[in-house]
Amino acid sequence: NLIAMDLGAVTKQSALHAKPSGLVLQYGTAGFRTKAQHLDHVMFRMGLLAVLRSKQTRSTIGVMVTASHNPEEDNGVKLVDPLGEMLAPSWEEHATRLANAEDQDLPGVLESISVEEAVPLRQDAIVVIGRDTRPSSEKLSQSVRDGVAALGGQVHDLGLLTTPQLHYVVCCQNTGGRYGKATTEGYYQKLSRAFLELAKQASCGGDEHRTIKVDCANGVGALKLRELEPHLAQALSLQLVNDGTKGKLNHLCGADFVKSHQQPPQGMEMKSSERCCSFDGDADRIVYYYCDAGGRFHLIDGDKIATLIGTFLQELLLEIGESLNLGVVQTAYANGSSTRYLEEVMKVPVYCAKTGVKHLHHKAQEFDIGVYFEANGHGTVLFSTSVETKIKQLAEELEDEKRKAAKILGNMIDLFNQAAGDAISDMLVVEAILALKGWTVQQWDALYTDLPNRQLKVKVADRRVISTTDAETRAVTPPGLQEAIDGLVQKYRLSRAFVRPSGTEDVVRVYAEADSQDSADHLAHEVSLAVFQLAGGIGERPQPCF
Ligand SMILES: CC(=O)N[C@H]1[C@@H](OP(=O)(O)O)O[C@H](CO)[C@@H](O)[C@@H]1O
Ligand SMILES: [Mg+2]
């Protein structure tokens, strides 16, 4: 049945997207990511792979061309599976194999993937493509199209799109429109309708007009917020900063910059207590922040967003009188104070998953309501289908306060992008919750105080010498490393530290938290030295960062 795959056409087309010799890449946590000039063949081949995956799943598959928060010169690509989820792990391996095959081996690799996965080759294939605003993205997405066309697949090129919008469209497309209309317009309609309903429900508390300042990282988020804004009918006005008209993508701005430097982005003027937020380059991450009257900067990261959302949803459930199982999923990078607050004050069960959205998403699917967020601001909430049906039914059946709460929850369900963590959707969620609660940004921030923490990177010859267990909180190899970390952690109060090989950069990441910034800094530095000594550090010995 392989006749249905025209390998002659593939070989001919592939010659126009030749692989540079010696280049080896891996489909990692966020797909392929590297300097844009090395990616042409990878894009073509991901077009090919998307066709096979589409045939196998008999569904529309998404391909997003983006390198998220990386520098403008980088680019990347990831595939989106039928329900808007990340690509299945076995196909990540196929992706790696396909990307690294020498040109002449390409037909053979395609055949072997098709056989291994029993791909019904005569089946039609549809691939939806989106891209971010990088200068290289347009040409690279053309290469994806070439790949799709070479295997006879149908292409819907949606052009400039945020990553979560692509996930949304793919999910809608494959669920017969039940999740919403499979267009960006459908996305704006679904989100704005839910937001306006919530704003109406909040307006009894006064404060009807809200403003928020958004740092768009000079990325695609700016374009899409401009498209969204008219739908919001002035219930929320957006002041866009770093909207791409002047600055460089992700340069001194964006969610990743703000979170890792713990300082405001360039170009953001903050009046005391003004709510501000930052998106990353493809708008799937968001962090909030503000300056207090004394001019001090306060970061509100993914953990505090998750806490606000988790707390609010739990309050609604109590009001409605439904005991559904709600869980919050975090990673080891979650601030210890957030975990403590959720577990001890809110009595919400908290779970720790491995780094990378797919692990969190997967765990969150186990709950009626699964809230998941990475500390860096990527996250969303998943509602089981039965919960969704039940809540919307209760919104009709219940009376008075209970009915009101069920209606709010029903609209909240629509406001989340359940296909993927989404800066636009999460921003609307936070704005709606603050309005409903009548809370200022300080009141939100005061839920708990973050433990001081520090993240460092250590360069080693081969980061794979470090393997971990217990959701990456403990190192199994190299021998002696965990014992060394345990010894160092003991020297400090309220302390915790762990190390893991990054899935997106060639470094080992070190995380430490403790009762003071000074202690967190020292602990992180000492752990870095232990990694350098025991895990084959290269280059200069880690220097103290203070
Ligand atoms: C500590 C940290 O922020 N790690 C990030 C980063 O992964 P690493 O495997 O740590 O490089 O990039 C991932 C993809 O964007 C993101 O999911 C994750 O949270
Ligand atoms: Mg991103």
Q: Residue 160: beta bridge partners?
A: 131
Same domain, 429 and 468: no
Q: Which of these three, 426, 445, 464, is where a domain ends?
A: 445
Based on the domain organization, do 94 and 213 belong to the same domain?
A: no
Does residue 210 sit in the same domain as residue 108? no
Classify residue 401 by burial, with Cβ atoms within 10 Å: 0-12, 13-18, 19+: exposed
List ligand 1's pocket residues with C-beta within 6 A.
29-30, 68, 333, 355-357, 374, 376, 378, 502-505, 509
- Our count of domains for the chain comes to 4
- Best mutation site among 504, 506, 508, 510 for ligand 1 pocket (most ligand atoms within 8 Å of CB): 504
Model confidence at 203: pLDDT above 90: no
Same domain for 103 and 156, yes or no, is yes
| 365 domain-assigned | yes
Give the residue from 374, 375, 321, 330 showing the smallest Cα distance to 348. 330
Same domain, yes or no: 69 and 208: no
Domain CATH number, residue 519: 3.30.310.50
The whole-number pLDDT of residue 207 equals 55
For the cut 90, the answer to whether the pLDDT of residue 7 exceeds it is no
Establish if 291 belongs to a structural domain.
no
Specify whether 154 is located in the same domain as 13. Answer: yes
Residues of the chain with pLDDT > 90, as a percent, come to 93
Assess whether pLDDT exceeds 90 at residue 206. no
Helices (H), 441-480: 441-445
53 and 135 fall within a common domain: yes
The enclosing H or E element of 226 equals: helix 220-228
Tell me how far apart the alpha carbons of residues 161 and 159 are, in angstroms, rounded to a whole number.
6
Q: Nearest to residue 505, comparing CAs of 539, 469, 456, 545?
A: 456
- Residue where a domain stops, chosen among 248, 282, 316: 282
The answer, yes or no, to whether residue 3 has pLDDT greater than 70, is no
Summarize pLDDT for 223-244 with one digit per residue, the tens: 999 999 999 988 999 999 999 9
CB-based neighbours (< 5 A) of ligand 2, an ion: 68, 280, 282, 284
Ligand 1 mutation pick, 359, 463, 502, max ligand atoms within 8 A of CB: 502
- Count of CB atoms within 10 A of residue 120's CB? 13
- Domain with 476, as residue range(s), is 453-534
Against a cut of 0.90, is the pTM above it?
yes
pLDDT at 100 over 70: yes
pLDDT recorded at residue 5: 79
Query: Within a domain: residue 390?
Result: yes
* SS3 of residue 22 by DSSP: coil
What was the pLDDT predicted at 544? 87
In this prediction, residues 188-205 reach a mean pLDDT of 91
Q: What is the pLDDT of residue 1?
A: 43
Mean pLDDT value across the chain: 95
Mean pLDDT across the stretch 354-363? 94
Residues 130 and 12 placed together within one structural domain of the fold: yes
Domain match, 462 and 422 both: no
Residues 140 and 50 occupy one common structural domain: yes
Q: What H or E segment, with its residue span, contains residue 435?
A: helix 423-437
Here the tokens at position 158 are 């949606």
Q: Helix (H, G, I), strand (E, B), or coil: what is residue 181?
A: coil
Average of per-residue pLDDT across 495-507? 93
- Nearest CA to 236 out of 224, 244, 228, 247 is that of 228
Model confidence at 106, pLDDT cuts 50, 70, 90, reads: very high
Q: pLDDT of 384-430, one tens digit each?
A: 999 999 999 999 999 999 999 999 999 999 999 999 999 999 999 99
- Cα–Cα–Cα angle for 197, 203, 209, nearest 5°? 95
User: Which residues are CB-neighbours of 193 under 8 A, at least 6 positions away?
Assistant: 414
- 166 assigned to some structural domain: no
Residue 43 maps to a domain: yes
Give the whole-number percent of the chain exceeding pLDDT 70: 98
- The mean per-residue pLDDT over the stretch 208-227 comes to 94
Residue 98 parent element (H or E): helix 89-100
- Whether 340 is in a domain gets the answer yes
Specify the CATH number for the domain of residue 427: 3.40.120.10
Give the ipTM: 0.98
Interacting residues of 114 by C-beta distance below 8 A, sequence separation 6+ = 2, 5, 52, 121
Question: How, if at all, do strands 60-65 and 74-80 pair?
Answer: antiparallel
Helix axes 7-14, 137-150, angle to 10 degrees: 160
The answer to the question of residue 397 being in a domain is: yes
User: Using one digit for the tens of pLDDT, what is the confidence trace for 317-334?
Assistant: 999 999 899 999 999 999
472-481: pLDDT as tens digits:
999 999 999 9
Residue pLDDT, tens place only, 158-185? 999 999 999 999 999 999 999 999 999 9
Q: Which of 445, 479, 503 is the last residue in one of the domains? A: 445
